Structure 1
Amino acid sequence: MLDKTYDPKEIEARLYPEWEQGGAFRAHPESPKAPFCIVIPPPNVTGSLHMGHALDNTLQDVLIRWRRMKGDDVLWQPGTDHAGIATQMVVVRNLEQEGMGLAVEGAESRNDANKKLLTREEFLAKVWEWKAYSGGTITGQLRRLGASCDWSRERFTMDEGLSAAVLKVFVDLYKAGLIYKDLRLVNWDPKMLTAISDLEVESREAKGHLWYFRYPIEGSDEHIIVATTRPETMLGDTGVAVHPDDPKWKHLIGKHAVLPLVGRRIPIVADEYSDPEKGSGAVKITPAHDFNDFEVGRRHKLEAISIFDKFARLNDKAPETYRGMDRFDARKKVVADMEALGLVEKIEPHTHTVPYGDRGGVPVEPFLTEQWYADAKKLAQGPIAAARDGRVTFVPERGREEFFRWMENIQPWTISRQLWWGHQIPAWYGPDKKIFVAMSEADAKAEARAHYGKDVALERDPDVLDTWFSSALWPFSTLGWPDGTEALAKYYPTNVLVTGWDILFFWVARMMMMGMYFMKDVPFRTVYLHGLVTDEKGQKMSKSKGNAMDPLELIDKYGADALRFTMTSLAANNAGRLRLAPARVEGSRNFATKFWNATRFAEMNGAALPKAFDPSSVKLTINKWVLGELARANAAIDGAIADFRLNEAASALYEFIWGIVCDWYVELSKPVLQGEDGPAKDETRAVTAFVIRETAKLLHPVMPFITEELWDKLGHRAEHGMLIGQPWPQQAPTDADADAEIGWLVKLISDIRSARSELNVPGGAKLKLLVVGANDTTKQRIETHRSAIEWLARIEGIEAATSTPKAALQIVVGEATYALPVGEVIDLKAESARLQKEIKKLGDEIAKIDAKLGNAAFVSRAPEEVVEEQRERRQQAEQTRVRLSAALKRLGE
């Protein structure tokens, strides 16, 4: 017997180990079944579950559980990422609390002199200790969410097999000329002391200044005025750019300015990068400290002078008086020195965006440094072709255009990082700095011996590879590559990749590059992109804002199934922001409770499924109808999941379970279930049991815990095994006549209920129902379902009439008009006035919103979440206006 109260915490803690230990998640490469494979986007090994993980992994698990029920040999490949910079930062912070630091060059100048400084080997030992201590946290939390990964195949980006794959890829690409070293600008984090990717840079709006400096023109009394937000970088200027058609400065093209404070002659060049409408129209060019300036410098062969060291302090390329100063202290001194020379034209307040390292938390510097690069332009050609010819599809379709936008404007990929934690680059340098790239030091020494004709000392490159490099191999390295494993042969290419828009380029595109180069095929057939989980106002969650939600706290309070259902219902394909409110999760928990209570009701009323039950033999109209509704729900849910419209699958589940089964079938079947014994009661018990069983199957991919528990408690597990291993339901029979009859009944009762509610008819008022113009079919239906109509619509008597009386609500269903005399229970004139007032108020509100949304300036400048909120308010107001207008019409006004 089911417990009276649904307790998700107890059920979830008990069931997950049963699934895992029972082998329910395991893939079977040896099986002849068709493969279905998803590789999990590997979370950081020392991370913990956040709302993005909860969304991403719920959607994957829905697909995985559905395909498992559809009969495929399913592999959900799990694993974790070593997360180079994030993990190193956490461990360094822990070490600092213990009075330890890293023995890196310059450590003594960062107040580390009193710390115990660890060597690289000592530090890496500490990281592996930390990984052993906290590495299982995230995978344990994914289990709490219900993720049915094949944990027996779990991988780690720095395990022995994946490390070997990384080495081979680097060596092969280097020997093919697709990996090389180059001196270029990178995003440099002067706190973490490493290059970082664009994804690890966050733009923050800052209130600063725009300084206008006057640079003297050589051999004249004239000056050219340049504007800058970073005065300190002028010490590295090697040119000034003006637009070739700018009348203000055109006459100076080809001349030289004398750089103040430095004395360097710098050319004035013509370049369309300079915008006559911005600042002074002239732009100082510092190729070593600005990405745009770097390109201008290349076009005009300007020298790139780097004036910062890796700590963002002024180096020996700057004038002596500035050397050793922090960049921001140097900024103040440069401005003061320019003012002293009378070369400051003006200073204006200026709000602009400043790039910050998301880990180090300090402003990032464009920094000229030698790094390792992959030739992304050549590697991108295969993925571009695959996206064009449909070998890879994107959901939603606009993801394809976003993909092309990135790939067709791709820059060289910086793959080296100045960290200790990660895959150390397999490159060794000879005495003359010649590079030897090999799978091992022994192989490198052999190559060096062949080159020099003798043994020489080699020095290994200290850098490690960008974390995205190893994760780019994920779809095939996790399956055993470079070995030719059974799993690799069966599951590659994988079927679907589920991920967020933010890493479409950083991860998705790079997996396509590596997969197509090494496996000669795409790594996945479909890329399913979901939106960003935000708070209910559409704002990005962050601890600093105080609006972050912890998925584990929501699971503790409402259950994993409730969180999963909420996430699935939010996942509309075209939604950029998925607004989450705790109240929605609570609503999903109530939904689970509703299904639990419906099942308990069925159990208490003797619902049981005979072994020989045949749905096609059902006789009662109400039972034929519910089986038809079950068939339509099955088709809708199955089709929606197949098309990655998972929110629509959740909607179909909700409408069927709550709206059809609980609200209508349970109520309409009560008289039979609680009436006299006989064939009708036996049939209804069987149909009820059948519907509950099949509904549990339909709901299982989204809410696996409650459905598995109900399956067990109803005795199906003992006979058929766990629900997780059951086939997807077969289609139940449909009956057009039953659909029409019960559809009419449901609409009639619903419309009467709505009319009463909208017009504030007291709940306890029993009204007479007058029927005008009914045909013979409708009359028969009324007689058949008289008691249900009277009971569920709170009607006291149903009578035929020749016309609708005054002071009555009017409802039209089919050919007949139904009148409810309400003159004695409500003031019709007052109600009419109220409705008209509400309708006008809504109209005024809609007009105001339309004016806002019609204002191009508002739409372009307002935050996305504010514009979206206005659109939602308009939609809600319009829906309410339509409903109230219908209510007014029912009054005959």
Structure 2
Amino acid sequence: MTSAASDNSRNRADALPKSWNPSEVEAEMYERWVAAGYFIADAESDKPGYSIVLPPPNVTGSLHMGHALDHTLMDTLSRRKRMQGYEVLWLPGMDHAGIATQNIVEKQLAVDGKTKEDFGRELFIEKVWDWKRESGGAIQWQMRALGDGVDWSRDRFTMDEGLSRAVQTIFKRLYDAGLIYRAERLVNWSPELRTAISDIEVKHEDVEGELVSLRYGSLDDNEPHVIVATTRVETMLGDTAVAVHPDDPRYQALIGTTLYHPITGRQIPIIADDYVDPEFGSGAVKITPAHDPNDFEMGLRHNLPMPTIMDERGRISDTGTEFDGIDRFEARVKVRERLAAEGRIAAEKRPYLHSVGHSERSGEAIEPRLSMQWWVKVESLAKAAGDAVRNGDTVIHPPSQEPRWFDWVDNMHDWTISRQLWWGHRIPIWYGPEGEVVCVGPDEVAPEGWVQDPDVLDTWFSSGLWPFSTMGWPNSTEELQKFYPTSVLVTGYDILFFWVARMMMFGTFVADDPVLTAGKNGATQVPFKDVFLHGLIRDQFGKKMSKSRGNGIDPLEWIRDYGADALRFTLARGAQPGGDLSVGQAHALASRSFVTKLFNATKFALMNGAHTGALPARGDLTDADRWIIDRLEEVRAEVDSAFDGYEFGKACEALYHFAWDELCDWYLELAKVQFAAEGSRAEATALVLGNVLDAVLRLLHPVIPFVTESLWQALTDGESVVVAAWPQATGVPADAVSAQRISDAQRLITEIRRFRSDQGLADKQKVAAKLIGLDAAGLTEQHASVANLARLTGPGDGFAVTASVEVRLSGATVTVELDTSGAVDLDVERRRFEKDLAAAEKELAATTVKLGNEAFLAKAPEAVVDKIKDRRDVAETEVARISARLAELSGK
């Protein structure tokens, strides 16, 4: 039976390809997993539930490195929990991306000279649905290429009927609770898109502007006047005050008076406000409440008029001046020219670098604009979201991100939720003929003849419901009972405030809903128990990836060039809680090499008969066997602890170094000697190697699923590692004696190899040698392994000692005597060592001179001095070592 198992292993090794070529394997393997139903969650299962909802990518989007990182980490968690015996639901879906999607379809219409108004609202929306069905969701097949183990049978879309019902339900509940209201407030306005946009869709960039100093009031220096500076001179058409600091002595006499507005002719007041910085510029600022956030707040404090001077397209309007109808940027030039002609430019315009918000979607500069919008009153909602973390109902990983969370939710402003679009969830507010207003719920009908509000909801409103709307809320479903609250939310810290906060606000708001409290998980106050925040991906130089820098990486290209496993391992290995990660081609190549190493090592093991099964008794194992088994157990515990703490990088590092450094570089080499022994020793080695590889492949599977599946099936002949059990603790105490012996053997082999290199011996060249003191060092059992790995042979006839080295080990010193006669070209070696000696002497001289310089020592930091001392000590050692070797070569 034993021989048959080994023979079977060799046959499966032959069935593996000659080398690992991911492009030939991954796609078919993934579809096999999907067809087998491995990723489908059973809500009726008796297993404990574990759930993650995928942060919904935009229907317009494609897989970028941020997605790839998110998805890799979520898939890693899901696959591991599935192997640990949990019923896992990783629920996928997409966001309808109101602005981005409508923008795409409008641009397609524009090619034919059409606008959405040419079709009307209903027909235009149909065209958007057509685009979604034909071209939307390209990211889904990209997710398959990455290996995402999501439950495709539960795929959701924010505009689906069920999710739309959830949106309408919570809107009405918030409205009825007095938490949704309509008001005229300042918003981020996109003139190109003609809608308000959210803060997350505004990207601030430093731009070169012009600082213009203009004069209000009299042109006579002896009459009241004030000079203010601005980069947006066109907004002076909407100025309703000039503000100064109440304690600024220059303006005390002017506070409470009025000044002549040079273009509109109005008299505008001079007000005093602590917000004004008297040290900046002239100490006076123009106030345009309808087009600047700070001015708006000041306008509220001082009850100032707030005229809007731009229409929805960013054109000057309703000012009664010759500038009406002109684009805002053209008006900036023309207003300045008129002021200059009237002598009101007090100083030459000068360049001024300042931060300007730009629309992420259209690229244009956004316009702060007073607008009538729908708002969510967030005070109580934000407090509940903050308290959930304070009370420990939701735990943020890493804890260092908690202060940012509290800073945000404790200082949150009301949220504008209306968008001037047609694609999206239409606001369920209806207006009657006499100005009546009613909010219509999902099972209600608006009165006949009433008109619905034309705006739609911000996409963050519907995605804020994602953890429970995707599971069927507001209806009672098996999914909600089994999988809600979700186990963990994985996302980047950059959207902590926008998406995470909204989900927490909505989740805590509906926490008492019987639909959510009736589940197997009991009452809950939160939508997820853990929030894991990873950092941003940067290039290999630590710079943020962006289109403008041209340093972005397409993850699909990496999948094509290196394989999905290499991409995933690169990302997971660099992921630490809250920390950014830098990636470049070198990282991908290193990950591909690791995958290749794992493939080659497993194939070699199979060719030598490695297989799984019951291990022999500990007493029948060698030191090497016990050492590798014990090290595996230590690594397993380390990996479990790291994954439990969302320390993906730590888990990957532990597995990488164990698999490469210890299993492949040491145990496999030691195993070759044991395989050569044949009989029971070879069989025991085959079992140890097979069982260790089995566990390593299962531990690595969540991160690199494709190669581990191929190798695990070949090794075990099992169904799939996807549904294999996660390695468990053995409960067997580690053998410290065996570990020390192997450590000593490794040190001895390493020192012999180093000595051989110093002697100029080729790596594969065998040299006659005597090993003296192995018995005293407790390494009798390791004699064959040391000789084999150090490329040594027995002394034989005519053995003459030409070189020797002593290696101090834990229990004794081993002396290695070598006969290198005829193995070394003495002249070549002498020249090599003379060159090395010259370099070492130069380094010694340079560091000695520097350390003898009193002026340098007095000024240099202690750390710098210590570093130079270390360099000097190393140089001294090298000079002594090389000089001794040259003396040996010269026969002195």
TM range (shorter): 0.7 to 0.9
1:591 is matched with 594
Q: How many residues align?
A: 829
* Amino acid across the alignment from 2:742: I
Question: Equivalents in 1 of 2:762, 2:684: separation in Å?
Answer: 38
1:860 is matched with none
Is the contact between residue 624 and residue 667 of structure 2 (CA under 8 Å) also seen in structure 1? yes
Q: Deviations over 1:560-613 (max 9, x none)?
A: 11111111001022423x111122112211111111111111111122334x44
Q: Structure 2, unaligned stretches of length 5 or more?
A: 1-13, 513-524, 851-855, 882-892
1:866 is matched with none
Is the contact between residue 807 and residue 891 of structure 1 (CA under 8 Å) also seen in structure 2? no
Secondary structure of the residue aligned to 2:206 is strand
* Amino acid across the alignment from 2:112: E
5 Å matches for 1:216-365?
216=217, 221-316=223-318, 318-346=319-347, 347-365=349-367
Q: Structure 1, unaligned stretches of length 5 or more?
A: 104-116, 446-454, 800-804, 846-850, 856-873
Q: Deviations over 1:529-578 (max 9, x none)?
A: 111112212222233332221111111111111111111001022423x1
| C-alpha deviation, 1:218, in angstroms | 11
2:518 maps to 1:513: no
2:5 is matched with none
Question: Equivalents in 1 of 2:393, 2:843: separation in Å?
Answer: 54
1:48 is matched with 62
CA separation of 1:554/1:147 partners in 2, compared to 1, >3 Å: closer, same or farther? same
Question: Equivalents in 2 of 1:879, 1:58: separation in Å?
Answer: 41
1:601 is matched with 604
Secondary structure of the residue aligned to 1:273 is coil
* Amino acid across the alignment from 1:239: A
Between 9-18 and 654-663, report the one with greater CA deviation. Answer: 9-18
Between 203-212 and 58-67, report the one with greater CA deviation. Answer: 203-212
| C-alpha deviation, 1:417, in angstroms | 0.5
2:789 is matched with 792
1:489 is matched with 481
Task: Indicate which of 522, 525, 528 corresponds to 1:524.
Answer: 528
2:460 maps to 1:468: yes
Secondary structure of the residue aligned to 1:204 is strand
CA separation of 1:617/1:770 partners in 2, compared to 1, >3 Å: closer, same or farther? closer
Secondary structure of the residue aligned to 2:150 is coil
Question: Equivalents in 2 of 1:798, 1:211: separation in Å?
Answer: 92
Q: Deviations over 1:414-450 (max 9, x none)?
A: 10101111000001111233321112696331xxxxx
Question: Equivalents in 1 of 2:788, 2:677: separation in Å?
Answer: 19
1:147 is matched with 148
2:12 maps to 1:35: no
2:839 is matched with 834
CA separation of 1:525/1:844 partners in 2, compared to 1, >3 Å: closer, same or farther? farther
Between 434-443 and 205-214, report the one with greater CA deviation. Answer: 434-443
| C-alpha deviation, 1:473, in angstroms | 0.4
2:571 maps to 1:567: yes
Is the contact between residue 394 and residue 527 of structure 1 (CA under 8 Å) also seen in structure 2? yes
Question: Equivalents in 2 of 1:760, 1:263: separation in Å?
Answer: 94
| C-alpha deviation, 1:374, in angstroms | 0.4
Secondary structure of the residue aligned to 1:495 is strand
Question: Equivalents in 2 of 1:605, 1:880: separation in Å?
Answer: 51
Question: Equivalents in 2 of 1:242, 1:372: separation in Å?
Answer: 33
Task: Indicate which of 550, 557, 564 corresponds to 2:554.
Answer: 550
Question: Equivalents in 1 of 2:713, 2:869: separation in Å?
Answer: 47
CA separation of 1:415/1:798 partners in 2, compared to 1, >3 Å: closer, same or farther? farther
Secondary structure of the residue aligned to 2:253 is helix
2:681 is matched with 680
Q: Deviations over 1:336-391 (max 9, x none)?
A: 11111111111222111111101111110001000000011121111111111211
Q: Deviations over 1:88-136 (max 9, x none)?
A: 1111122222332121xxxxxxxxxxxxx22111111111011111234
Is the contact between residue 424 and residue 459 of structure 2 (CA under 8 Å) also seen in structure 1? yes
Question: Equivalents in 2 of 1:416, 1:408: separation in Å?
Answer: 23
* Amino acid across the alignment from 1:723: V
* Amino acid across the alignment from 2:587: R
1:411 is matched with 413
Is the contact between residue 828 and residue 891 of structure 1 (CA under 8 Å) also seen in structure 2? no
Is the contact between residue 240 and residue 283 of structure 1 (CA under 8 Å) also seen in structure 2? yes
| C-alpha deviation, 1:77, in angstroms | 1.1
CA separation of 1:282/1:840 partners in 2, compared to 1, >3 Å: closer, same or farther? farther
5 Å matches for 1:460-859?
460-520=452-512, 521-576=525-580, 578-610=581-613, 612-614=614-616, 616=618, 618-673=620-675, 675-717=676-718, 721-732=719-730, 733=732, 734-750=734-750, 753=753, 777-778=776-777, 780-781=778-779, 783-793=780-790, 813-814=809-810, 825=829, 831=836, 834-835=839-840
TM-score by length of structure 1 reads: 0.87
Is the contact between residue 429 and residue 437 of structure 2 (CA under 8 Å) also seen in structure 1? yes
Secondary structure of the residue aligned to 1:443 is coil
* Amino acid across the alignment from 2:782: H
Question: Equivalents in 2 of 1:147, 1:421: separation in Å?
Answer: 29
Task: Indicate which of 385, 389, 404 corresponds to 1:383.
Answer: 385
Question: Equivalents in 1 of 2:869, 2:471: separation in Å?
Answer: 57
Question: Equivalents in 2 of 1:622, 1:283: separation in Å?
Answer: 78
| C-alpha deviation, 1:677, in angstroms | 2.3
1:868 is matched with none
CA separation of 1:601/1:507 partners in 2, compared to 1, >3 Å: closer, same or farther? same
**Percent of residue pairs bearing the same amino acid type:** 45
* Amino acid across the alignment from 1:628: D
Secondary structure of the residue aligned to 1:221 is coil
CA separation of 1:150/1:615 partners in 2, compared to 1, >3 Å: closer, same or farther? farther
Question: Equivalents in 2 of 1:843, 1:8: separation in Å?
Answer: 55
* Amino acid across the alignment from 2:545: M
CA separation of 1:843/1:579 partners in 2, compared to 1, >3 Å: closer, same or farther? farther
Q: Deviations over 1:638-688 (max 9, x none)?
A: 111111000011111111111111111111111121x24211111111111
CA separation of 1:767/1:339 partners in 2, compared to 1, >3 Å: closer, same or farther? farther
Between 615-624 and 23-32, report the one with greater CA deviation. Answer: 615-624
Is the contact between residue 751 and residue 807 of structure 2 (CA under 8 Å) also seen in structure 1? yes
| C-alpha deviation, 1:281, in angstroms | 1.3
Question: Equivalents in 2 of 1:546, 1:305: separation in Å?
Answer: 43
CA RMSD of aligned residues (A): 3.3
Question: Equivalents in 2 of 1:319, 1:557: separation in Å?
Answer: 63
TM-score by length of structure 2 reads: 0.87
* Amino acid across the alignment from 1:788: S
* Amino acid across the alignment from 1:749: I
| C-alpha deviation, 1:394, in angstroms | 1.0
Secondary structure of the residue aligned to 1:240 is strand
Secondary structure of the residue aligned to 1:367 is strand
Secondary structure of the residue aligned to 1:195 is strand
| C-alpha deviation, 1:752, in angstroms | 5.2
